[in-house]
A and B are shown apart, each in its own frame.
Chain A
Amino acid sequence: MLKDITIGQYFPGKSFVHRLDPRFKIIITAFYITLLFSAKEMIGLFAGIVYLVAAFLVSGIPFKMMLKGLKPIVPIIIFTSILNLFFIDGIVVFRLWILKITDEGIKMSVFMVIRIICLIAGTSLLTYTTSPIALTDAIERLFSPLKKLKVPVHELAMMMTIALRFIPTLIEETDKIMSAQKARGADLETGGLMQRAKALVPILIPLFVSAFRRAEELALAMECRCYHGGEGRTRLRQLKSGWADYVSLGITLFFLDAVVAINCFF
Chain B
Amino acid sequence: MPIIKTENLTYTYSQGTPFEKTAVDNINIEIESGEFVGIIGHTGSGKSTLIQHLNGLLKPTSGKVYIDGQDIWESKEITKAARFKVGLVFQYPEYQIFEETVYKDIAFGPKNMGLSDDEIDKRIKETARIVGLGEDLLNKSPFELSGGQKRRVAIAGVMAMEPQVLILDEPTAGLDPKGRDRILDQIKLYHEEKKRTVLLVSHSMEDVAKYSTKILVMNKAKVFCYDEPPMVFRRAEEISQMGLAVPQITKVFNALKEKGFNIAEDVYTVDYAKRKFLQYISARKEKS
Q: When the two chains form their complex, are residues B95 and A186 in contact, meaning their CB atoms are under 8 A apart?
A: no
Residues of B contacting A187 with CB < 8 Å? Answer: 80, 112
Q: Tell me the minimal C-beta distance from A197 to chain B in angstroms.
A: 15
Given contacts A11-B18, A179-B57, contact A184 B158 (CB under 8 A): yes
Asked if A182 is at the interface (CB within 8 A of a chain B CB), the reply is yes
Asked if B93 is at the interface (CB within 8 A of a chain A CB), the reply is yes
- Name the segment of B33-41, B81-89, B176-184, B233-241 touching the other chain: B81-89
Query: Among the listed A3, A177, A185, which residue makes an inter-chain contact with B96, where contact means beta carbons less than 8 Å apart?
Result: A177
Interface band, chain A: 20 to 34
Asked if B109 is at the interface (CB within 8 A of a chain A CB), the reply is yes
- Name the segment of A117-125, A143-151, A204-212, A243-251 touching the other chain: A204-212
Query: Among the listed B17, B95, B158, which residue makes an inter-chain contact with A177, where contact means beta carbons less than 8 Å apart?
Result: B95
Q: When the two chains form their complex, are residues B90 and A185 in contact, meaning their CB atoms are under 8 A apart?
A: no
Residues of B contacting A183 with CB < 8 Å? Answer: 55, 57, 83, 87-88, 90, 158
Within the assembled complex, what's the spacing in Å between the Cα atoms of A177 and B84?
17
Contact residues of B between 86 and 133, Cβ < 8 Å to A: 87-88, 90, 93, 95-98, 108-109, 112-113
Q: When the two chains form their complex, are residues B93 and A180 in contact, meaning their CB atoms are under 8 A apart?
A: yes
Asked if A90 is at the interface (CB within 8 A of a chain B CB), the reply is no
Query: What 0/1 readout, one digit per residue, does chain A (194-224) give for beta carbons within 8 Å of chain B?
Result: 0000000110011001100000000000000
Contact residues of B between 48 and 83, Cβ < 8 Å to A: 52, 55, 57, 80, 83
Given contacts A184-B109, A184-B158, A185-B109, contact A205 B57 (CB under 8 A): no
Residues of A contacting B93 with CB < 8 Å? Answer: 180
Asked if A72 is at the interface (CB within 8 A of a chain B CB), the reply is no
- Which has the most chain A C-beta neighbours within 10 Å: B17, B84, B87, B97? B17
Q: When the two chains form their complex, are residues A185 and B113 in contact, meaning their CB atoms are under 8 A apart?
A: yes
Asked if A12 is at the interface (CB within 8 A of a chain B CB), the reply is yes
Within the assembled complex, what's the spacing in Å between the Cα atoms of A173 and B161?
24
Q: When the two chains form their complex, are residues B90 and A206 in contact, meaning their CB atoms are under 8 A apart?
A: no
Within the assembled complex, what's the spacing in Å between the Cα atoms of A185 and B143?
22
Q: When the two chains form their complex, are residues B112 and A206 in contact, meaning their CB atoms are under 8 A apart?
A: no
Given contacts A11-B18, A184-B109, A184-B158, contact A176 B57 (CB under 8 A): no
Given contacts A176-B95, A206-B97, contact A182 B108 (CB under 8 A): no
Asked if B14 is at the interface (CB within 8 A of a chain A CB), the reply is yes
List 23 A-B pairs, Cβ < 8 Å.
Answer: A13-B18, A173-B95, A179-B90, A180-B95, A181-B96, A181-B108, A183-B55, A183-B57, A183-B88, A183-B158, A184-B108, A184-B112, A185-B83, A185-B84, A185-B109, A185-B112, A185-B113, A185-B161, A186-B112, A206-B95, A206-B96, A206-B97, A210-B95
3 closest Cβ pairs, A-B complex: A185-B112, A180-B96, A205-B98
